Structure 1
Amino acid sequence: MPAAHPDPAPAANVDQDPSDLHDVVIVDPVRRRLILAAMCVALVAVVASVSGLNVAQQALAEDLGASQSQLLWIINGYTLALAALLMPVGAIGDRWGRKPVLLIGLVAFAATNIAAAFATDPTTLIALRVAAGFAAAMVMPVTLSVITTSFPAAQQAKAIGTWAGFAGAGGIIGLFVSAAIIDNATWPWVFALPVALAAVSFVLTVVVVPHSVEHVDTGFDIAGSLLSIVAVGGLVLAIHEGPEQGWTAPITIVAAAAGLLGAAAFIVVELRREHPLLDVRIFAIRGLAAGSVNLFVVFAVMFSMFLVLVQYLQAVLGYSALRAATGLLPMAAVMMPLSTIAPTIAERIGFRRTLVTGMLAMAAGLGLFAVMADPTGGYLSVLPGVLILGAGVGLAMSPSTAAITSSLPEEKQGVASALNDTVREMGGAVGIALIGSVLNAAYRSNIEPDLAGLPGEIVEPVSEGIGGALAVAGQLGENGAALAAGARSAFVDGMPPALLLGAGVCLAAAGFTALRGPKTAAEAEPRLHRHAPEDEPVIR
């Protein structure tokens, strides 16, 4: 029988015998705000670590002698471990207790990041990044499940909106802070931000987060857990390696095959189990299906937008890493407050209308970016598209998250949160691979006339991307000016097909939601709109 054991607190009064508790609902608004702060700080630490090292690649190559392949593994090894382990670790949090799993994860996360700062070779750094990803998987899903199990139902949607805003902005924060560090210090200091945030969250968690654990008589779904690791890990690895190694490369084919076979086996096993890790039949729930589709698209577009916009600002407009990261801040400034109030908007105008409006705004933002981007107009030519895209993300993200977590019962909130995070990670990986591949293909086609007459040894780096072309142009001195101009033109001309593809995906998600999405927030988020039972455990 599910039960929870709250931590004693000096100012807390428990309304009934702790042995009868299920989830611990915090009534004190000050303590709730501190819990939300602790969870958002931990979340930013994890998300910022995904993007933070992107701006340190050149420094890592020079200091550690890392090859391009090793640089990709330093960045992607963290994401791969995080995505693959989310589901089983989320379920462990439900069974062992969310608070102890979170505290262990924060300690391990801080320790691996500290060790990474002292790495002296690429192999060691890759291993530590994978270990940090494992620790992050202990942190990320728990940050959301703590909110969904300790906040009253009436307060959960707004809290989830705040959490979702930080989930979206965490990547921008990581890029901005890391760029500032790289411009003023050495690359090991990039790890200072996640360590500091983990330490702050640890202290707050010890003091204010209640201990809730679901005691169940059924065994842990080991088979489902292992298959989920193979399925998600294989697919994410294939998506990461495809654009770099080639979609027909052995590692890509093997990873994709393992992921697809693992996913098929996971579905078969989970359908046959009485108590599965994740009952795949829940995807027939309209709220969860609409929330998953929209959240997948939100992060596919947002992560690919980071890729395109940062390259445009740095390679085309000549911005420094810090100034390019600053160019993303207006998007966060619009997205975060809208994400907080989006659940309230969904209550008033309807879940379906809110998500469809968000997706249409995202499509409009991408379309504006595609047609208005002009190097002669500078940053102001892309700012309208960035702002509208940020508004769309803010409207769609938090109602989607609330719909996903509300579709599973309290005793499965760790799994629900992990499902939400897995959808985010998969969406981001697919978006970067898909839109990035279209952009690269268009660039290669556009740059081809400029390759005529170039020495054979420099044709490959010029055709691979604008970064390589500008590096070669710099080595050619005055003779490289025409090549640099051609590469910038090829990149700018290649952006519209990629951005319009993203807009098309957003329109497809809007169409799906209009046809299949629940009309009201109450339909999409049933757990948040039910009447609380009289014996609901409460800590004041």
Structure 2
Amino acid sequence: MDATSTQADPRRWWALGALVAAMLVLGFDLTILNVALPTLAADLGASTGQQQWIVDAYVVVFAALMLPAGLLGDRFGRRRMLVAGLGVFLVGSAMGALVHSPGPVIAARTVMGVGAALVMPLALSVLPSLFPAQERTKAVAAMTAAMSAGIPLGPLVGGWLLDQYWWGSIFLINVPLVGVAVVVCLLLLPETRDPSAPRVDLISAALSVAGLGALVLGIIEAPHRDWTDPLVLGLLAGSVVLVALLVRRERRAARPLLDLALLADRGFRWNTVAATLGTFILAGLLFVLPSYLQAVLGHDAFGTGVRLLPLMAGLLVAAKLSTVLAARLGPRPVVATGLVVLCFAALLGARTGIGDGYGFIAVWLSLAGLGFGLAMVPAMDSALAGISADRAGSGSGLLLTLRQVGAAIGIALLGSLLAGVYADRLDTDGLPAAAAATADDSVVAGHLVAERLDLPALADAADRAFLDGMNLTLVVCGCAALVAAALVALFLPDSRTAAAGPAAGAERTVAPDQHDGREWTA
């Protein structure tokens, strides 16, 4: 299938629909459990640390395995591995619906992360073979919008399921969605591969998983053990050593798993920084906010999902607007402006008080969605525009790996900051030691202890302590967004004229042997 047939065949848009369906599923599962965390804390006794791992187990494995997943697609066929990833994701979803304690839930989320790691980079890596340069921006925007829409829709759907059924239903909802995506991918997606792709380096893959896992575990354990605890220090130091070994090994590889040469390109590097920090902020925000809406303001799970809709509205508006603005102005001013808007939204949210109503939250959530969407779509499109088709799997895998690393660290770091501030500010004087330790675990646990002991003052204190922690995390988010905006404004090259060159070059590198000798398979 050459470039001409790609442009002429209308089924490329149906193929895009299959990819959009897959990305929507991944977006759902980045956040659908967030609205269930208070329920898991109450029903399964999950502590704040376990809640962080329930969310982060998926994200850590997702991030760490995307690089080898991209190469697997390059070597064995992108459609084949994409469908395999959806199948693994389905198995993990079924596991999650059948277990009854925090540990197995974490294990199920880990399996789902393996599947997601295959799906994400391969869904993006087929775009250069499906669309010419002038259409690729629309395709990237559609896929980004799908995942972005799935992120805030996840709490909405999850909240409705929790109100109607048991908590395991938030895993079962994936089964029909994944099934549809598998069928459509098999029917409409062309098979592509890079016959020269190297074998997956299992040692490098193990180093990436272990390094990122040690970093996240150290950050999550720090509030409970203290940052100077030998275990925490050992985990953090170990993560540095493992990542350094990974980088050293990859620098010596003829065809590296971690293609560091891509980071030498200014456009790719700074667009990736913008996307990573933006994801760091959004992931941390979506970890913190559901507990505030449910435990502090008293909304049910579905009501919490509904109250996150302004974020989705901002994302959807920005996904369309950013494409138009980037075409006229170039990505640099659009990405920088989006990050400034995200900064303003976070700092505005940090002024939330106990007596503030939902209207104030809706305003800054809308702005946060608008800022994230304005920054993310042009940043990802501009970064991917310079990746040639023969490096599409590993290149998009690197970009998306760094984004998911940002998400994992955002959940771990901001969740740990919240947990530490909450425990420090909560006054448990006069409580039995066991009750005080339980109340310190999370605001949900604080409310349960207050209810059992008939201590409304403890519930009020838990609300105030949680709000102090939430506002501090939002200040950190705002500072991160401002730093990212400054870096983009200073260092991101203006690629209005340059973007067409690499993109077109990428299209020209699509050789017939990369498509397995076949045209469309439907």
Give the alignment's TM-score, normalised by structure 2: 0.89
Q: Aligned residue for 2:430?
A: 453
**Residue 419 in structure 1 maps to residue 394 in structure 2:** no
Aligned residue in 2 for 1:392: 371
Partner Cα separation in structure 2 for residue 250 and residue 77 of structure 1: 23
Partner amino acid, structure 1, of 2:381: A
Contact 2:423 2:441 in 1 (8 A): yes
The equivalent position to 1:303 in structure 2, one of 241, 265, 283, is: 283
RMSD over aligned Cα atoms: 2.9
What are the Cα deviations for residues 206-262 of structure 1, in whole angstroms up to 9, with x where unaligned?
111111111117555454444333333433443444456654556544443343222
Are 1:138 and 2:118 counterparts? Answer: yes
> Cα distance, 1:519 vs. partner?
1.8
Secondary structure at the counterpart of residue 299 of structure 2 = coil
Q: 2:486: which partner in 1?
A: 511
Equivalent pair of 2:75/2:197 in contact (CA under 8 Å): no
Aligned counterparts, 1:89-104, within 5 A: 89-104=69-84
Share of identical aligned residues, percent?
Answer: 31
- Contact map agreement 2:145 2:316 (CA 8 A) in 1: yes
User: 1:533, CA displacement in angstroms?
Assistant: 4.1
Q: How does 1:65-84 map to 2 (within 5 A)?
A: 73-84=53-64
Q: CA separation in 2, counterparts of 1:273 and 1:458?
A: 55
Whole-Å Cα distance in 1 between the matches of residues 53 and 472 of structure 2? 28
How far the C-alpha of 1:114 sits from its partner, in A, is: 2.3
Q: Over residues 375-417 of structure 1, what are the superposed CA-to-partner deviations in whole Å (9 max), with x where a residue is unaligned?
A: 4331002221111111110100112212332333211111122
Whole-Å separation in 1 of the counterparts to 2:54 and 2:4: 39
Q: How big is the shift at 1:335?
A: 0.5
1:158-173 alignment runs, 5 A limit: 158-173=138-153
Q: Which of 332, 347, 356 is equivalent to 1:377?
A: 356
- Who is 1:492 aligned against? 467
Distance 1:414 1:185, change over 3 A: same
1:229 to 209, 222, 233: 209
Inter-partner Cα distance in structure 1 for 2:43 and 2:424: 34
Q: How does 1:173-212 map to 2 (within 5 A)?
A: 173-212=153-192
Measured after TM superposition, the shift of residue 68 of structure 1 is: 7.1
Q: Which runs of 5+ in 1 are unaligned?
A: 1-13, 16-22
Which AA in structure 2 matches 1:490? A
Rounded to whole Å, the distance in 2 between the matches of 1:302 and 1:489 is 23
Residues 441, 228 of structure 1: alpha-carbon distance in 2 compared, 3 angstrom cutoff: closer
Q: 1:318 aligned to 2:293?
A: no
- Range 23-32 or range 503-512, more displaced: 23-32
1:401 — aligned with what?
380
The amino acid that maps onto 2:490 is L
Matched letter for residue 111 of structure 2: A
Q: Quote how far apart the aligned CAs of 1:191 are.
A: 1.9
Equivalent positions of 1:212-361 (< 5 A) are 212-216=192-196, 220-243=200-223, 246-248=226-228, 252-361=232-341
Q: Any stretches of 5+ residues in structure 2 without a counterpart?
A: none
Is the deviation greater in 52-61 or in 230-239?
52-61
User: Does structure 2 retain, via aligned residues, the 8 Å contact 1:287–1:524?
Assistant: no
Does structure 1 residue 467 correspond to structure 2 residue 444?
A: yes
Instruction: Compare 298-307 and 463-472 and name the one that shifted more.
Output: 463-472
Q: Is the 8 A contact 1:87 1:228 kept in 2?
A: no
User: How far apart are the structure 2 equivalents of 1:432 and 1:126?
Assistant: 15
Corresponding residue of 1:18: none
Structure 1 contact 522–529 (Cα < 8 Å) conserved? no
Relative distance call for 1:319 and 1:25 in structure 2 (3 A) is farther
Task: Give the length in aligned residue pairs.
Answer: 515
Local SS of the residue matching 2:207: helix
Q: Which deviates more, 457-466 or 59-68?
A: 59-68
- Summarize the Cα distance change of 1:455–1:328 in structure 2 as closer, same or farther, 3 Å threshold: same
Letter in 2 for 1:420: L
